[in-house]
Amino acid sequence: MGWRLSRGDELKELASDLSRAAVRARGLGLPTTVYLLSMALVEVREAAAGADDGHDDDAT
């Protein structure tokens, strides 16, 4: 079996990807995209913090 990231690690990786995308969008002059990516980043960081605490913040 292959190695798999934990949910918290996957969320941290996603947060990093979103952060880089927001910086790139800012450089391209896309303010609405920056705003949306920033809001997504906040949500992902909160979920990652919950995953680190052993809580699952899924709303499903």
- Model pTM score: 0.79
DSSP 3-48: ----HHHHHHHHHHHHHHHHHHHHHTT-HHHHHHHHHHHHHHHHHH
* pLDDT (mean) for 37-46: 98
- Confidence tier at 25 by pLDDT (50, 70, 90): very high
- Confidence tier at 59 by pLDDT (50, 70, 90): very low
Q: Residue 23 corresponds to which tokens in the numbers above?
A: 């910086």
Residue 42's alpha-carbon distances to 4, 23, 27, in angstroms, are: 24, 15, 20
Q: Residue 21 corresponds to which tokens in the numbers above?
A: 């995308």
Q: Where are the domains of the chain?
A: 7-52
